[in-house]
Structure 1
Amino acid sequence: GGEKASIDNLWRYGGFFATGWNGLILSLAVIMFSFGGLELIGITAAEARDPEKSIPKAVNQVVYRILLFYIGSLVVLLALYPWVEVKSNSSPFVMIFHNLDSNVVASALNFVILVASLSVYNSGVYSNSRMLFGLSVQGNAPKFLTRVSRRGVPINSLMLSGAITSLVVLINYLLPQKAFGLLMALVVATLLLNWIMICLAHLRFRAAMRRQGRETQFKALLYPFGNYLCIAFLGMILLLMCTMDDMRLSAILLPVWIVFLFVAFKTLRRK
């Protein structure tokens, strides 16, 4: 292990992009899966005590954490272990500690990964319950979802979110070999839809504020060009998904889902 560890591993085996740009481009859809959940910062603004200060601080911390935990960890990983020897069916971090004869640390890392997964699940249930509550208040979801506890927690929305997400366990039981790939493709497709809608909603929101003569307290970088750039990038990811066997179905069904939501929205508006 010690002989392999070197900063030269970053460029020794064919340099950067040793297999060409094609691999990087095709992996963008999978990379998007890792960044899912960043939009939760906006959802928490409604319950933040001082959103004018806490939200910008949280947004800036996301950038620092990406540099530290995503970019920084990959630099350390590739410096410790040549990328040509990393196996796709196991965690590269766990492999490093196993090769260093540190099974205790490897087991501890597996535990950290499990805790991180539970944290992601907690964030997902939190955001979904708040969105269901908001839809119910607007009249776009059943009224029983508006019930809150003494602490203001939307208890019915929370329980329904937990019950629905528990179906993942059943999917994993029925399709143990394909469950993760199917769910990842579904998550990426819904992330693309969410982020595109966020970009469009932000454009409409800023235009409405401008007509009312109001100034926003949160300055968006490169607005409005940044919004169109994000939409174009997300559209490119969607096209890439259409070329991938594991993700093609989710990409094809996404327009069908959009049409279903549009029809449901129009039906509710008429009522």
Structure 2
Amino acid sequence: MGFPGTWMTESETLVYRVVPKCACSTIGQIMYYGDHGRFYDGDIHDATEGLHKWAFERSQPRIAAVATGRRAPAFTCVRNPYTRILSSFFDKICGIQRNGRRYRGNLVPLLIQKYGIEVGGPDGREEFDQIRSFRRFLLFVRDTIRWRKPMDPDIHWSAMSGHVSTFIANGGRYDGIVWTEAFDEGMQGVLDAADLPHDVDLSAIPRFNESEGHGPKRAHPVEAYFDDLSMHLMFEVFHRDFQLFRYDFENPANKMPTGEIDLDEVHAKLGD
């Protein structure tokens, strides 16, 4: 299986397991800058040079050697499950993607037909009942993850622990897990452990939010979207994310972690 979703600097000084919707655009640009002293001109997900990615066959043996040999610090980044799933909804379901089209072609029409959701019209700009549509989307998410129907789960809303686990299961070990909610502090610790060719000043790094502006603005506080049933569905699907990464399941209004991540526990529970 190897190391899907893994990026590495060309200098082989830092290894990163991508988790979608968790600051991956910013992290990729930081890694690119650390190697080249400049940012990639465009969406880092589109970069085909300047960064090793497991998706490139030529990069696979180098990533595998560094990851299994633990020759460079390896890390990933996680986010509060409540805010992550909301971000996925507004970006991927309600938003028009950077190619000018809806995400995954017939996905949104399927959701409108089978789950009765609204997405704000053809361009995502019209008024609609965000709370009702999001809760129906959450039913769809549960169906894809529990029963793989009407389709397999998408990487943007499948559990973070599933993404994180593949790196461990195939012989890698994380030296750090960064919270997006305390990004600068966590990322500074990662950079301090890596011997990158160029120094990175996090205070001067812009946030590369490639999904910004794709969809409608969230009209309500996070907690308004989650009633008792929604919270039950969230726990059914994402309970390991809440537990391992120390997020507050009981209070959707609290986006901050409630305790330190235990790396040994993460490796033990996700390495099976």
Of structures 1 and 2, the one with the larger relative CO (CA 8 A, separation 6+) is: 2
Flag the structure with higher strand content: 2
**Shorter-chain TM-score category?**
under 0.3
Flag the structure with higher helix content: 1
TM-score, length basis structure 1 = 0.24
- Is the radius of gyration larger for structure 1 or structure 2? 1
